[in-house]
Amino acid sequence: MPIQAISYTSTASPELGLDAVDQLARSAAAFNVQAGVTGVLLFDGCRFLQYLEGPRDGMAVVFARVQNSRSHFDLAELGRGFPGRRFFPYWSMQLLPAEPLDIYDVADADWSRLVLRRARDEGEPESGVERLARLTVPNWVDRPLVP
């Protein structure tokens, strides 16, 4: 079964505090396990950047839930496609703190190709997945993989 991926940014609802964001991520992680979806959620205190991956049917249910959530607004899809494999196979949903510039940097990358290359040609820009991976790799060692 091919793996589908979707990445987006959104703005957190003003009343959404850090405890609510943490609970939101825990609830999403539990839901995603049932749907077979994995991913990562960056949060800078105001904005989200989320990358989701999984089977098409699971992704449809999870992304519909995301789109209907009242915890955020101004959802902007960055990329959607079939990357060929999971990039975050052990995280049903991992919430990671981010700096605002990190979210803008990752969102500004090329999301037209959902690829993670072993090497890039000199001068070739990073894909969105590559920027996201570079930002999240330090967290792979010291963060729980599944809540």
Instruction: Provide the residue type at 30 as one letter.
Output: A
Q: Are 50 and 8 in contact (CB under 8 A)?
A: yes
Q: Which CATH number, 3.60.20.10, 3.30.1330.90, 3.30.70.100, 1.10.600.10, labels domain 3-141?
A: 3.30.70.100
Confidence at residue 147, expressed as pLDDT on a 0 to 100 scale: 36
Instruction: Provide the residue type at 87 as one letter.
Output: F
Please determine, for residue 117, whether its predicted confidence score (pLDDT) is greater than 70: no
Please tell me the number of Cα atoms within 13 Å of 145 on its side-chain side. Answer: 6
CA distance 106 to 44: 13
For 39-64, the pLDDT digits (tens) are: 999 999 999 999 999 999 999 999 99
Confidence (pTM): 0.88
pLDDT > 90 in the chain, percent: 66
| Confidence category of residue 80, pLDDT binned at 50, 70, 90 | very high
For 96-114, the pLDDT digits (tens) are: 999 999 999 999 998 987 7
**Residue with structure tokens 């009343």?**
15
Q: Where are the domains of the chain?
A: 3-141
Regarding predicted confidence, which is higher, 117 or 75? 75
Q: Which of 62, 56, 69 is nearest to 1 (CA)?
A: 56
Q: Which of 127, 112, 5 is nearest to 56 (CA)?
A: 5
Average pLDDT estimate for 57-86: 94
Mean pLDDT score of the chain: 87
Query: Phi first, then psi: what are they for 119, rounded to 5°?
Result: -150, 150
